[in-house]
Amino acid sequence: MSGGIVDNSPVRTVVHRGLTIEGYSRAAVQTYWRIPELKIGFDFGAQPWSFMGTSTWFVSHTHLDHVAALPVYVARRRMMKMEPPTIYLPESTIEPVERILKLFTRLDRGRLPCQLLPARPGEEIELSREHVVTVSATRHTVPSLGFIVWDRRRKLKAEFQGLSGDQIRDLRLGGTDVTEEIRFPLLAYVGDSSPEGLDSCPAMYEARILITEITFIAPSHLKDKIHKYGHIHLDDIVERRDRFKNELIIASHFSTRYLDGRIRKLVERALPDLLGGRLKLWL
Ligand SMILES: [Zn+2]
């Protein structure tokens, strides 16, 4: 699909335990992520041509650097004769986004077929038999959400574990539910948020992979002021260093005020072992 296409949107990639994380994120520039194995993406700051085949998306909030490419994405899928996508957004943003799509349809003379669905904190969204997404509130200057993808499977209940296959079969035939659901948080995503977005949802710290923003890192950029604007400072991560149980923490959405080299230097000064090598700077 990408053959011959010149794509101006940068994509970085990391693979961790069977999941490929693709994307890019700089504050005020653009943020977009995709996990092909889960068949989902997060945010539409831009839309790399290669991301078009993913049909389910979650929008953390509707600042332009996270949503501007939504109409482009919907139009491309229609042009390529793909199914209309499903896009989950903060509830209050659906009506204005629908209006924007209608206006673009007028300008472009092309329909923009898609399903826009509300994501509300506390809700669960079923992706497949194996995967479910939970929605949490984060804290930014506009309505904003965090998302966790859970792996779920059914396991024999503890009380039946000593039984033989025949006994279990008989129980099952008799209508007993012999299994229970076991969930494991595979991947967590915090778009733009103050540290509350992490703290108010403990599974963020437990997920195998955490993608989080760290917009500010310099000591001269003061934490309290940054929290007011709904962002995370490197000092917040240092304060919480013992809470992160994640195998991989992707730190992203750095302010454009910092050059890459300075980001590396300041982070390595504050966290010399990069949280045991688990903290990856998305530069
Ligand atoms: Zn942003």
Q: pLDDT tens for residues 100-115?
A: 999 999 999 999 999 9
Mean pLDDT, rounded, of the chain: 95
Q: Does residue 266 surpass a pLDDT of 50?
A: yes
- Give the whole-angstrom CA distance, residue 44 versus residue 57: 9
What's the pLDDT tens digit per position in 177-206? 999 999 999 999 999 999 999 999 999 999
Average of pLDDT values for 247-256? Answer: 96
* Alpha carbon of 98 to ligand 1 centroid (Å): 21
* Alpha carbon of 157 to ligand 1 centroid (Å): 44
The pLDDT assigned to 224 comes to 81
The pLDDT assigned to 4 comes to 56
* SS3 assignment, position 24: strand
* Alpha carbon of 143 to ligand 1 centroid (Å): 13
Q: Does residue 8 surpass a pLDDT of 90?
A: no
* SS3 assignment, position 215: coil
* SS3 assignment, position 144: coil
The pLDDT assigned to 1 comes to 46
More confident residue, 8 or 11: 11
The pLDDT assigned to 81 comes to 97
Which residues line ion ligand 1, judged by CB < 5 Å?
65, 192
In this structure, what DSSP letter does residue 128 have? Answer: S
Q: Taking Cα atoms as reference points, which of 37, 11, 41 lies closest to residue 24?
A: 11
Helices (H), 85-137: 94-108
* Alpha carbon of 243 to ligand 1 centroid (Å): 24
* Alpha carbon of 63 to ligand 1 centroid (Å): 7
- Give the whole-angstrom CA distance, residue 267 versus residue 269: 5
Q: Does residue 215 surpass a pLDDT of 80?
A: yes
* Alpha carbon of 164 to ligand 1 centroid (Å): 55
Choose the weakest-confidence range: 64-68, 110-114, 146-150, 224-228. Answer: 224-228
> Degrees (nearest 5) of the Cα angle 216, 24, 3?
165
Tell me which H or E stretch contains 167. Answer: helix 165-173
Q: Based on C-alpha coordinates, what's the Rg of the chain?
A: 21
Report the amino acid identity of residue 38.
Answer: L
